[in-house]
Structure 1
Amino acid sequence: MTTMMREEILEQPAAIARTVAALRPRTDDVRRLAVGRRQVLFAARGSSDNAATYGRYLTEIVAGRAAAALAPSVATAYRRRVDLGHALVVCLSQSGETAELVETLAWARTCGAATVAVTNVGDSALARGADLALVTAAGPERAIPATKTFTAQLVAMALLADALAPTPGAVRGIERVPDAVAELVRGRSGIERAVDVLLGRPRTLVTGRGLGYAVAAELALKLEETCLRPVPGLSYADLRHGPIAIVDDRVAAIVVAPRDGPVLAGLTGLVPELRSRGAAVVGIGLAAGVDAHVAGPDLPEILAPIGLVAAGQLVVEGLARGLGLDPDAPRGLRKVTQTDPEEAG
């Protein structure tokens, strides 16, 4: 069975290449807009919020600028003025039409912020309202779950961080990403075995850390959307601070790991602990000691999340089909989500 979700996962190498070509020329514009802005604040919801998490890590690790999440409810529910004269505010929305985020961006400008919109729709309300719009080139997405639009947002975050870095070129190797993702999605190495392991356990959790935490959170969200399972997506540091108590022989744990970097040792050491509690372990990018190994990308840690999430999306799509569900149209969801009911009017 071929699904739209799977087709769009396979389109990601081309979508990534188009997005790099579209956004690389905008890095000088980002750099100029950010002059004098000491802090970078990100606002988003859903999958876009997970892309923003990757952006926050990159902004601090690569660019050396303090970064944080900006709560849209401060603007839209509490309507409090905040001094943002020191800030670059980045709002992410794939459609660019989520009313809460459009309002948040407008509010940030009135509070003195310079604003950037990251969206897949160039003529959207979010793009029109921003000082600068970074328009990804994923193309139209037909399946409800965000796949290629999400990976395109990750590319935008990498190029944003590069633009904010003290020295341009801090994010190296982005031109290799399309080929690395193409190898993963065409090869599908380990996908069927991973799906079998997940089908054999009624409960699932996903964990990662550092730059890969955004991938863990996104895959947990995708599993909830398409497979109708409550799935925590946790940093392994948080997992060890209490939630690990839920791990037993009914759990399949997905561990997301890059091929290198400072978090790899901790993620590798987590596997035997999970198995000692009875869990089956699926490693995405991690082979040591796992029950199923899904190949990760041949990319350095800083760019690995773009490939890791593509591999994970294939697992999610396969699991949904294995459960007899339609991953293209998850129950009760639609492409443009409004946070509050009155926004839909």
Structure 2
Amino acid sequence: MSPHDLGRIYRSEIEEQPAALERLLEHDAEIASIAAALQSRGPRLIRMVGHGSSDNAASYGVYAFGLLPHWTAMRDSITLTVHYDSPLDLSNSVAIGLSQSGRTPDVVEYLVRARRSGAFTIAITNDPASDLASAAEATIPLEAGSEQAVAATKTYTNTLAALVLLAAHLAGEGARIADGVRRAAEQMAESIPAFARDAEALALPFSYTGRMFVIGRGVEFATAREIALKLLETCRVAAEPLTATDLAHGPVAALDPLFPVWAIASPDATLPAVQEAAQRIRETGATVVASGTAAGAVQGVQYTLPVPAPDEPLLSPLLSVVPGQLFAGALARVRGLDPDAPHGLSKVTLAL
């Protein structure tokens, strides 16, 4: 295979993300109806489950539900319910199963048991005819289209959008947030060429990187988790996501000039924590890459990957993940790896 062909599918699916977001928005009325059904049930807690990129998106969902309708949401334990068979009362809960394929066995089983235990169940999946959708009372189809690369891209960003649209309708802010998602899709389409150039330029100096921390805080912790996952699965980089504050509680001791850190910054109440973390990192001699909508506010870094600010600050993760996706693909190609088909991985895990 020619080096130019490595990651061709992965790159094309990154470029399809704006169109995928537009397709999801065509289901906004359905999402509003699901929100109305939830409100009629009066739940006290939203429980989200998923693996990999879906679980990363759930990290964002915690903030989307907490900041818009002010509902408590959590990433729930599949093991507690499915493997330990704990008899939890979920009658006052909403259980959301997140799976791009809709065939992840323990996510499906979690939703089956949650429904049996009294929860209102929702599937968010790219396959509305899947087992997960059949197990749920309501389904939000991701409409991401066929995703052939093993590393998820457009299903991840559409899952973020599905969660924030549901949260927005619960808060009576559906029209405003839908407009924000539409504008973010336009900004993404406009920015991808520049993001790609920056990612290609950054890949060469990092070609021998074997380990990296990726830090974020608040809504951007989901982005940190997702970028770290992309680096792990496409580049064989031992990337670990941390909150900006967690870095100071032990992990900073591992840093040295050969241990870079990717920092995602947003212009919100979490920015001082990211700035302080960047200062601690610089003191160790480690290289800092600053990205996100407030990348320019992180001083003294060696590399900056700016991201345009969306109309709604809560939507920044839709944009801030894209430079990381592209960087992972570019770094894989520099190393002679194929991000379309990482070694040892397949698209769907069928075993519990």
TM-score, normalisation: structure 2: 0.92
Partner of 2:237: 229
In the alignment, which residue of structure 2 is the partner of 1:322? 334
| Mapped partners of 1:198, 1:88: distance in 2 | 43
Partner of 1:294: 305
Partner of residue 15, structure 1? 20
1:338 aligns with 2:350: yes
Instruction: Give the AA of the match of 1:62.
Output: L
- SS of structure 2 residue aligned to 1:334: coil
Q: How far is 1:197 from its partner? A: 3.6
Quick one: structure 1 residues 269 and 80, their matched pair in 2 at CA, closer, same or farther if it must change by over 3 Å? Answer: closer
The separation in 2 between residues aligned to 1:167 and 1:317, in whole angstroms, is 36
Taking the aligned partners of 2:331 and 2:87, their CA distance within structure 1 comes to 45
State the 1:324 CA deviation: 1.2
CA distance in 2, matches of 1:166, 1:23: 13
Q: Deviations over 1:105-151 (max 9, x none)?
A: 00000110000100011111101111100001110001110011111
Residue correspondences, number: 339
Q: Closer, same or farther in 2 for the Cα pair 1:331/1:208, shift >3 Å? A: same
Separation (CA, whole Å) in 1 of partners of 2:264 and 2:186: 20
> Which residue does the alignment assign to 2:107?
101
Range with bigger deviation, 111-120 or 166-175: 166-175
Aligned residue number for residue 46 of structure 2:
40
> Are the equivalent residues in 2 in contact too, given 1:194–1:294 (CA < 8 A)?
no
Measure, in 2, the Cα distance between the counterparts of 1:304 and 1:111.
Answer: 35
Per the TM alignment, residue 257 of structure 1 is displaced from its structure 2 partner at its CA by 1.7
C-alpha distance in 2, partners of 1:158/1:70? Answer: 18
SS in 2 for 1:226: helix
Structure 1 window deviating more from structure 2 (32-41 vs 163-172): it is: 163-172
**Deviations along 1:240-278, whole A, 9 cap, x unmatched?**
1111111111111101122x2111232123223212201
List runs of 5+ in structure 2 lacking aligned partners. none
CA distance in 2 between partners of 1:244 and 1:220 (Å): 17
Q: Which residue of 2 aligns with 1:210?
A: 218
Native 8 Å contact 2:43 2:94 kept in 1: yes
Shift in alpha-carbon separation, 1:200–1:24, aligned structure 2, 3 A: farther
What is the CA deviation profile of residues 275-309 of structure 1, one whole-angstrom value per residue up to 9, with x for unaligned ones? Answer: 22011111112133221111213214300001111
Query: Which of 269, 272, 278 is equivalent to 1:262?
Result: 269
Q: Does 1:195 align with 2:203?
A: yes
- The aligned residue for residue 110 of structure 1 is 116
* Unaligned runs of at least 5 residues, structure 1: 341-345
The answer on whether the counterparts of 1:34 and 1:114 sit within 8 Å (CA) in structure 2 is no
User: Deviation digits for residues 84-104 of structure 1, max 9, x if unmatched?
Assistant: 111011110000001111110
**Deviation digits for residues 309-339 of structure 1 (CA, Å, limit 9, x no counterpart):** 1121001100111111110001111111135
Partner of residue 250 from structure 1, selected from 258, 268, 290: 258
Cα deviation for residue 176 of structure 1 reads 0.6
Spell out the pairing of 1:167-186 with structure 2 (5 A cutoff): 168-169=174-175, 171=177, 173-186=180-193
CA contact (8 A) 2:21 2:181 kept: no
Q: Which residue pairs with 1:343 in the alignment?
A: none
- Distance change >3 Å, CA 195–CA 254, structure 1 → 2: same
**Distance verdict in 2 for CA 1:156–1:204, change over 3 Å:** same
Please give the per-residue CA displacement for 1:172-210, whole angstroms capped at 9, x wherever unaligned: 622211111112212225223322342254321100000
Do structure 1's residue 143 and structure 2's residue 143 form an aligned pair?
Answer: no
Question: What corresponds to 2:94 in structure 1?
Answer: 88
Partner of 2:289: 282
Q: Distance in 2 between matches of 1:239 and 1:169?
A: 38
Percent identity between matched residues is 36
Matches for 1:68-87 after TM superposition, within 5 Å:
68-87=74-93
Equivalent positions of 1:44-63 (< 5 A) are: 44-63=50-69
**Cα RMSD (Å) of the superposition?**
1.6
From the superposition, tell whether residues 80 and 96 of structure 1 become closer, same or farther in structure 2 (CA, over 3 Å): same
Give the Cα–Cα distance (whole angstroms) in 2 for the partners of residues 289 and 169 of structure 1.
Answer: 40
**Distance in 2 of aligned mates of 1:23 and 1:102:** 24
Work out the CA distance in 2 between the residues paired with 1:292 and 1:325. 24
Structure 1 residue 74 displacement after superposition? 1.9
Is the Cα–Cα contact under 8 Å of residues 32 and 174 in structure 2 kept in the other structure? no
